[in-house]
A and B are shown apart, each in its own frame.
Chain A
């Protein structure tokens, strides 16, 4: 069965960067886009962008352009999301998801806390 497993919680200072990993299994990794969605405490779901593992093509939400980078390592079926210049309002749970048009397969989420 499909599994999507993310790296553990992170605590970062303002201005720092964070890199979250997302390892997928149970399907052909390169054939499906991986999307990232975040959720601030008590808030809704916000789409950040996606990557196509087959060729590394990315598309980012305008809000995160210049601050987010999504990469992949096909040898270990893992996608990474790096967010730089962190601010307190980047504190959120970050989810990676396999896309099959809709989002059936979600990672467990990674809490990123930005605090001085």
Chain B
């Protein structure tokens, strides 16, 4: 199984500042057939199902604000929120869809400082 490890586990950032969450996979998730990294990022607010933010490591889902961006390739990935807003308080998960079983990172809790 591919193990997904996020860092940090929790993060407190001031409003308007940058937030950075890292995700490391135990195996390469760059898929040769698609030439895409099979890595997604989700945002989960309290009491709600997760919401897709980023797929293929860096493609923003339709309707997601452009302050959210994803980067990285192979085994190391980053989710960046450029200017933190109050509505960004949530838990963020990375997930690989390179193979079965699908696996998620443990989550990063983002709060306002």
Q: Does B65 contact A (CB under 8 A)?
A: no
In the complex, the answer to whether B40 meets A103 with C-beta atoms within 8 Å is yes
A95: chain B residues at CB < 8 Å are: 49
In the complex, the answer to whether B97 meets A101 with C-beta atoms within 8 Å is yes
What is the number of residues of chain B that contact chain A, defined by CB distance less than 8 Å?
Answer: 21
Taking the closest CB of chain A, its distance from the CB of B4, in whole angstroms, is 10
In the complex, the answer to whether A45 meets B50 with C-beta atoms within 8 Å is yes
Residues of B contacting A: mostly: loop
In the complex, the answer to whether B104 meets A107 with C-beta atoms within 8 Å is no
In the complex, the answer to whether B38 meets A101 with C-beta atoms within 8 Å is yes
Q: Can you list, as one digit per residue, whether each of A30-51 has a CB less than 8 Å from chain B (1) or not (0)?
A: 0000010100000011110010
Taking the closest CB of chain A, its distance from the CB of B79, in whole angstroms, is 14
Could you tell me the distance between the alpha carbons of A59 and B101 in the complex, rounded to whole angstroms? 9
Q: Which of A37, A44, A61 has the most CB of B within 10 A?
A: A44
Taking the closest CB of chain B, its distance from the CB of A66, in whole angstroms, is 16
Q: Does B103 contact A (CB under 8 A)?
A: yes
Q: Does B77 contact A (CB under 8 A)?
A: no
Could you tell me the distance between the alpha carbons of A62 and B55 in the complex, rounded to whole angstroms? 26
A37: chain B residues at CB < 8 Å are: 102, 104
Could you tell me the distance between the alpha carbons of A81 and B33 in the complex, rounded to whole angstroms? 31
In the complex, the answer to whether B52 meets A103 with C-beta atoms within 8 Å is yes
Q: 10 shortest A-B CB distances, which residue pairs?
A: A106-B49, A102-B40, A102-B55, A45-B104, A47-B102, A44-B107, A104-B52, A61-B101, A101-B97, A44-B106
Inter-chain pairs besides A44-B107, A109-B49, 19 sampled, C-beta below 8 Å: A44-B93, A44-B104, A44-B106, A45-B93, A45-B95, A45-B104, A45-B107, A46-B104, A47-B102, A95-B49, A101-B55, A102-B52, A102-B55, A103-B40, A103-B50, A103-B95, A104-B52, A106-B49, A107-B49
The interface of chain B, by Cβ under 8 A from chain A, is 38, 40, 42, 49-52, 55-56, 61, 93, 95, 97, 100-107
